[in-house]
Amino acid sequence: MARINFGGTVEEVVTREEFPLSKAREVMANEVLAILGYGVQGPAQALNMRDNGFNVIIGQRKGSATWDKAIEDGWVEGETLFELEEACKQGTILMNLLSDAGQIATWPMIKSHLTPGKSLYFSHGFGITYHDQTGIVPPAGVDVFLAAPKGSGTSVRRNFLEGAGINSSFAVYQDASGKAREKAIATGIAVGSGFLFETTFQKEVYSDLTGERGVLMGALAGIMEAQYDLLRDKGHSPSEAFNETVEELTQSLIRLVAENGMDWMYANCSTTAQRGALDWKDRFRDATKPVFKDLYESVETGNEARITIEANARPDYRQGLEKELAVIHNSEMWQAGAAVRALRPENQKSEAVK
């Protein structure tokens, strides 16, 4: 493992240099990797592993839209595409990439096929960590581990096709064979990770739920709405408000942060922007810290898990979700966003050559 200094704290991480793809193939040489679920992470991880030369099959409910998508992606019914239970029978590593609600619903069936010597894989620590609410308790005699890409399935596949990777965490919950850790790392490399850092199932889900509700999605959307609404209330046009709130962030500044860090981006913007950002940064940090503390406590106590499980169990959840998403979609801010995106040069049709 490579020892890396992360801002004064030294961590050990696994890179492709010390654990190359060839080694991952050796570890998985006799394994049948059964991807259960072909929704969000399933397609990306399955296709990446197939392209990397691993023995992959898909388990999915026949007749569903995702079954049809799997066929479009080249999986063949009866050869590499099966109903969930048949995939569980054939697989030696059951890669449970179903939704959290789907994992709860199918657990009795999946558990029945976890015979000694098999392995159970996750990309999220939810089901295991909150087992008192999900009922997901693996039997003895099986390895249980995870590799969790730090990005959406779309990004996992896109980065792979571009020759890049996406960072992942890995963890071992149960090591029956003495080789669970090696399998976890090999699977992370197989799905195209750039590098892997070690964690636990509990820490993975605590950080993941906090991140999704916080900076990655919830807080980001909320802050954007607050600034956009303020600018509109002060008489700025939708185009101006959206560009100053979202477009400049996503099309310019965040790319600089990704390439070189926030400090570099600060050092390479105008002196006016520098002064203002430095003066206001701490106020935003101090204002949001109590919210983040409440959020983490809600995750840590299992409250967020309870809310998620109860919501998904409601028969009308899907209809209610569509209404909530429609509010965002139909808001002036994101309607303005659609118009702005359409005006990007790459989205405008070239003038016909006469």
% of the chain residues with pLDDT over 70: 98
pTM score of the predicted model:
0.91
Fold of 211-347: N-(1-d-carboxylethyl)-l-norvaline Dehydrogenase; domain 2 (1.10.1040)
Mean pLDDT of 82-111: 96
Q: What is the pLDDT of residues 148-176, one digit of tens each?
A: 999 889 999 999 999 888 899 999 999 99
Query: Collapsing DSSP states into helix, strand and coil, what is residue 57?
Result: strand
Q: How many CA atoms lie within 13 A of 273 on its CB side?
A: 9
Q: How far apart are CA 271 and CA 93, in angstroms?
A: 55
Q: How far apart are CA 67 and CA 58, in angstroms?
A: 9
Mean pLDDT of 86-98: 97
Query: Which residues does the annotation mark as catalytic?
Result: 124
If one counts every other C-beta atom within 10 angstroms of the C-beta of residue 83, the result is 15
Give ∠ CA 114-120-125 in degrees, rounded to 5: 135
Mean pLDDT of 303-319: 94
Task: Please give the pLDDT value at position 201.
Answer: 97
% of the chain residues with pLDDT over 90: 88
46 pLDDT exceeds 90?
yes
Candidates 3.30.930.10, 3.40.50.720, 3.30.70.1150, 3.40.50.980; correct CATH number of 2-200? 3.40.50.720
Q: How many CA atoms lie within 13 A of 41 on its CB side?
A: 22
Mean pLDDT of 168-192: 97
Task: Please give the pLDDT value at position 351.
Answer: 43
Q: What size, in residues, is the chain?
A: 354
Q: 354 pLDDT band (50/70/90 cuts)?
A: very low
Q: How far apart are CA 185 and CA 202, in angstroms?
A: 18
Task: Please give the pLDDT value at position 349.
Answer: 61
Closest of 237, 244, 246 to residue 334, by C-alpha? 246
Among 22-26, 164-168, 198-202, 327-331, which is the least confidently predicted range? 164-168
Q: 6 pLDDT band (50/70/90 cuts)?
A: confident
β-strand partners of 149: 168
Q: What is the pLDDT of residues 264-276, one digit of tens each?
A: 999 998 999 999 9
Per domain, the residue ranges of the chain are: 2-200, 211-347
